[in-house]
Amino acid sequence: MTGFPPRITQGKRILFGTIGIVSVLVVWWLLTLPVFDETRERRLPVKTGATEKVHDPVTGDFIEVERIRYETRTESVRRALVNPPALDTPGNTARDAWELLFHSGPNPSLFQHVLWSSLRIILGFLISAAIAVPLGVAMGLFPRLHATLNPIVSFLRPLPSISWVPLAIIWLGAGELQKLAIIFMGSFSAALIYTVEATVRVDPTLIRAAQNLGVGKRHLLWRVLLPAALPSILSGLKVVMAIGWTCVISAEIVGTQIGLGSLIWQSKETSHTAAVLVGMACISCVVLIMDTLFARLERRLVPWMHAGDK
């Protein structure tokens, strides 16, 4: 009898993931495929060969200009269900991605945008985790500390990262410190709450069993409570890392010319839909890579949670 939910091999995960990606590309291609006939009317200027005198608003003299009349012409064109600039074809988007990656000219390349955003995310995430995890464990262990800090955390938790942008600019200017502060404030409360919940929800039976065996408070913390809470803490931090990307997009909208947030925002201003899609795709790819690296780290830190994985 197989377990529930059933497990699949890594090869099948890759196969089904590839099917999902190809399906999205096929739907995208169908949406941009020109299959509909549409009739349009255009007013085109036509020279008549005759001239007329008009008053020059600059010199005040009368000058002769060629008389032009407008003719309405009907033309038939083929259109897709979704047309540029709303959505470009996969091929054109891939071409624009190639140009952004290798032929950006004086502008930052796509690689530079990805690199700077990733560095900001990693640094902001590490700072928030380094503070939130120890503080969250302490709040979970000491009810008085939890009661003291919980109102502050409850006030900060609903605030979106973009709400910190004005204050961060006023306090820190528009440099890198401002961007790290926005990422930190957007990630810290979530990391703290996940850690507190993971600590509080440790099975009391484990604690009582260790106490009955004569384990001291120090070893109880490091050998029982933290290993039991660590899987949930790591799962929460994985979510926090994804939250950090929403924070970095908000941070890079103002005061920078490099970063995926800046690329997406500037492309929006010029209606360059392909560049917006490329920026979004880069975010997803980077998050996928970070999730893979995080999963490897999780296997090393909590190997007993993955003992049955193939």
* Tokens (6 digits) for 74: 């009907």
Architecture per CATH, 112-300: Orthogonal Bundle (1.10)
Mean pLDDT, consecutive 10-residue stretches, the chain (310 aa), reads 67 86 88 78 73 71 74 75 77 81 74 89 91 91 88 84 82 84 88 90 79 74 80 88 84 82 82 82 86 84 64
Query: 118, exposed or middle or buried, with CB in 10 Å at 0-12, 13-18, 19+?
Result: buried
Give residue 130's pLDDT.
Answer: 93
In the chain, what is the greatest distance between 2 CA atoms, to the nearest angstrom?
Answer: 109
* pLDDT at position 126: 92
pLDDT of residue 308: 55
Q: Which residue has the tokens 């259109």?
A: 79
Q: What is the pLDDT of residue 3?
A: 58
Tokens of 290: 């970070």
Within 8 A by CB and 6+ apart from 245, the residues are 117, 121, 283, 286, 287
Q: What is the DSSP string of 189-247?
A: HHHHHHHHHHHHTS-HHHHHHHHHTT--HHHIIIIIIHHHHHHHHHHHHHHHHHHHHHH
The confidence score (pLDDT) of residue 288 equals: 86
Half-sphere exposure of 111 (CA within 13 A, CB side): 6
What residue segments make up the domains of the chain, in order of their start? 112-300
- 108, 114, 159, 199: CA torsion to nearest 10: -160
Please report the pLDDT score of residue 1 as a whole number.
Answer: 45
The whole-model pTM stands at 0.72
203 close to 228: Cβ distance less than 8 angstroms: yes
Q: CA-CA distance, 183 to 58, in Å (whole number)?
A: 56
